[in-house]
Structure 1
Amino acid sequence: MVRREAEITVIGGGVVGLATAFGLLRAGRRVRVLDGADSDLRASQGNFGLVWLQGKGAGFAPYAQLSRDAVALWPDFAAEVQEASGIDLALDQSGGYEFFTEADEFSAFKADLEAQEATLGNRFSHEVIPGDDLRRSFPEIGPGVVGATFCPLDGHVNPLRLLRGLRVAVTALGGEIVQGAKVEKVTPVASGFEMALENGSRLDAPRVVLCAGLGAAPLAAQLGFATRVRAQRGELLITEKLETRLPFLSSTIRQVDEGGLQIGGTKAEVGPDDRETREMMAGLAQHAVTVLPALADVRVLRAWGALRVMSPDGYPVYTRSAAHPAAAMVTCHSGVTLAAFHGTKLADWLEDTAAAPDLEAFDEHRFALSASA
């Protein structure tokens, strides 16, 4: 059956797609979200939940600006999602640390933060803390930590509550979410686009926003996009719940609101393989114990691998199809940090209003320019 109710169809029901749909609904559009199969590679169900600014865009000023805008939007965005859904996202933006056990890495990251501050000016602040000074504030930090950096703008959220909250909020605002709607083919037609789903049904859409993460590659080509995403694996550990709260948040060790610790930070270019590995798990455990020796006695309950969605240069892509202007593509690996931007300001860009943010630096033409340089 062909359905015509929605003005805009968002392909992809993860955090990026749902936040984008939320923003379009706030802007008064009629929106349908097509959520794929349960077996799809879903970055939204395995991420670390960070709302993070430190180090982002050190080598690419537009990304530093975008990330700064996003973290500033998060408090109001979280409140809006909670109001619409009734779900507390457990947002905490009280600042975060990056811990370093290697002097060279510490020095390199300090340079990154200096570059970031040169771009952002008074919109960014950070501290560089030598190891001994850090242990005076946090005696539990191990002697193997050579130093840390701190940014008061960093924080985290419960990522599964964010995903659920966005689903409920999109529905509450009048959006339609179609479950099990994996799109196999998109065909441009006079009225917009016709989509063939894996289950045999067909839908049409005047406008399409492709937010399908790792599932975007075949559909992107059909819509005339040049961007090809790749998978990057990250692995995580979850510990038992602790009675006491950690006195800090870091990008590799965070305590979730339910009490357990989430330990992560690995990167591996292994293609669409989300299996955990003993070597990486051992490295995560060793890092955690080096930072906090007391964790040696804490039990690990679960471990898994999850896939990040990476563009060719690692930065977000916001682009419209030159061949089919009614199609747009949105992809990034910082879906949680950027969710507040996607759920608010991105709608102005998609609608091409006077208030549209300047996202020219994130257009996919940069890949063609790089290839010809």
Structure 2
Amino acid sequence: MNVIVLGGGLMGTASAYFLARRGLKVTLVERNRVGSGATVASFGNIRRSGRYLPQLPLAHRSLSLWRKAEAMLGQDVEFRPTGHLRLVFGKNGLASMRSFIDAARPWGLVLDEMEMREVRARFPGIGPDAIGASFSPGDGSGNPRLIAPAFAAAARSLGTEIVEQVEVGSITKTASGFEVETSRGSIGGEVLLNTAGAWGAQIAAAFGEPVPIEARGPQMGVTEPLPHRIMPVVGVWGGDGIEGYFRQVERGNIVFGGGVERTQVALDPGHAKADPASLPRQLLVLLPLLPALAKVSVIRTWSGCEGYVADGLPVMGPSATTPGLFHAFGFSGHGFQLGPGVGDVMAELIAKGRTETPLHDFRIERFAETSC
């Protein structure tokens, strides 16, 4: 079976790798460079807390692959299971946290509720005005700049053809599968996997499957190095007016995001830029999480084009209109943790016609159903 994968971010490269590992012939097509879109814009958060509950089986599957990533891919992608600490600053956040802890337990996720004296003892300097927190010890972070190229290199070593820096024109359903016209010629395959991120809805719409999606860019930044003392990824249970998230890398830099609106991004050309005017406001919002940010220099900011589906859930699974077409796009800013699992699930679904991981809530036909 020949599979064409459209989109070379984390979802596409992971899918290509797992498809090739199952013995399928794969051609991956990317308009820019592998991993240069939404993946590289990611914060690098590998978290399960706060997720849509039916997404947890996919998140668990993905976490097991993150744990194997270095051995599986032959290089360190900087997965660090340092834990995920989520702070509470008021009664709304406290109620949200406790509700999620109870609801997530039957889904196989056990979170520890921490009192602030324990947080201060274990993680000094973090959230001095917080009133509580949850901690997920199995979660952590990875390097967004390394993971997609690592999957691409591993897929290439298994025989995958990776075609970068090409424009995709028409996509035609043929008697034998699909024909994709590119600026370097035509590519044919029996199966087409749409992992085109914010552009994925355009491909779906061409086959009669419209998806309500917006392209937006997160506002990310990194500081100068500080003494390394913060191990977990840190976020917030929302509802009390305090937002944002950060983590400290081993070199000491603080990587941060959130707290300000994502920028609008035009899909053509699809270049997302950080808004420098938002940086002072963003740092001010983040100070309750880490007061030390008031005394450090920001050395770089960036953004990237992400696709946000109207209901906040991704599109995953087979096409409802076209045999041989599959979708995995629109992860709405929370796809980094899921990436390896998405690739494994889509490869299983394409190769076997089924998957053990539930995808019902992510089916593309949900939009046609709501419009009836």
State whether TM-score is above 0.5: yes
1:234 correspondence with 2:234: no
1:188 correspondence with 2:173: yes
State the one-letter code of the partner of 1:89.
V
* Cα offset, 1:40, TM superposition: 11
1:254 correspondence with 2:256: no
Query: For the residues of structure 2 that align with 1:157 and 1:139, how far apart are their CA atoms?
Result: 23
For residue 171 of structure 1, give the secondary structure of its aligned residue in structure 2.
helix
Please say if residues 19 and 166 of structure 1, whose CA atoms lie closer than 8 Å, have aligned partners that are also in contact.
Answer: yes
In the TM superposition, what whole-angstrom CA distance separates every residue of 1:285-327 from its partner, at most 9, and x where no partner exists? 1243322223322211011233332223111221322332111
* Cα offset, 1:339, TM superposition: 1.9
Worse-matched range after superposition: 299-308 or 156-165: 299-308
State the one-letter code of the partner of 1:255.
Q
Query: For the residues of structure 2 that align with 1:286 and 1:99, how far apart are their CA atoms?
Result: 17
* Cα offset, 1:115, TM superposition: 2.1
2:343 aligned residue: 343
Matches within 5 A, 1:34-73: 34-37=29-32, 42-57=37-52, 61-73=53-65
Q: Structure 1 length normalisation: TM-score? A: 0.86
Query: For the residues of structure 2 that align with 1:73 and 1:353, how far apart are their CA atoms?
Result: 21
2:323 aligned residue: 325
Query: For the residues of structure 2 that align with 1:364 and 1:350, how far apart are their CA atoms?
Result: 16
Structure 2 regions of 5+ residues with no counterpart? 236-244, 267-271
Matches within 5 A, 1:172-321: 172-197=157-182, 199=183, 201-251=185-235, 252-266=245-259, 268=261, 270-272=263-265, 274-278=272-276, 280-321=278-319
2:144 aligned residue: 159
In the TM superposition, what whole-angstrom CA distance separates every residue of 1:168-193 from its partner, at most 9, and x where no partner exists? 11111111100112312211122222
1:111 correspondence with 2:99: yes
Structure 1 residues 182 and 257: alpha-carbon distance in aligned structure 2, compared to 1, 3 A threshold: farther
Matches within 5 A, 1:8-23: 8-23=3-18
Please say if residues 319 and 364 of structure 2, whose CA atoms lie closer than 8 Å, have aligned partners that are also in contact.
Answer: no
1:366 correspondence with 2:347: no
Please say if residues 233 and 266 of structure 1, whose CA atoms lie closer than 8 Å, have aligned partners that are also in contact.
Answer: no
- Paired residues in the alignment total 356
Structure 1 residues 316 and 346: alpha-carbon distance in aligned structure 2, compared to 1, 3 A threshold: same
Query: For the residues of structure 1 that align with 2:247 and 2:217, how far apart are their CA atoms?
Result: 19
Worse-matched range after superposition: 342-351 or 163-172: 342-351
Worse-matched range after superposition: 16-25 or 107-116: 107-116
* Cα offset, 1:73, TM superposition: 3.1
* Cα offset, 1:226, TM superposition: 2.9
For residue 306 of structure 1, give the secondary structure of its aligned residue in structure 2.
coil
* Cα offset, 1:277, TM superposition: 3.1
For residue 268 of structure 1, give the secondary structure of its aligned residue in structure 2.
coil
* Cα offset, 1:38, TM superposition: 5.7
For residue 304 of structure 2, give the secondary structure of its aligned residue in structure 1.
strand
Determine what percentage of the aligned residue pairs are the same residue.
26
Query: For the residues of structure 2 that align with 1:39 and 1:52, how far apart are their CA atoms?
Result: 24
Structure 1 residues 244 and 354: alpha-carbon distance in aligned structure 2, compared to 1, 3 A threshold: closer
For residue 291 of structure 1, give the secondary structure of its aligned residue in structure 2.
coil
Q: Out of 125, 130, 133, which is 1:140 matched to?
A: 125
Structure 1 residues 266 and 305: alpha-carbon distance in aligned structure 2, compared to 1, 3 A threshold: farther
When the two chains are superposed, the root-mean-square deviation of aligned CA atoms in Å is 2.5
* Cα offset, 1:101, TM superposition: 3.5
State the one-letter code of the partner of 1:324.
T
* Cα offset, 1:45, TM superposition: 1.5
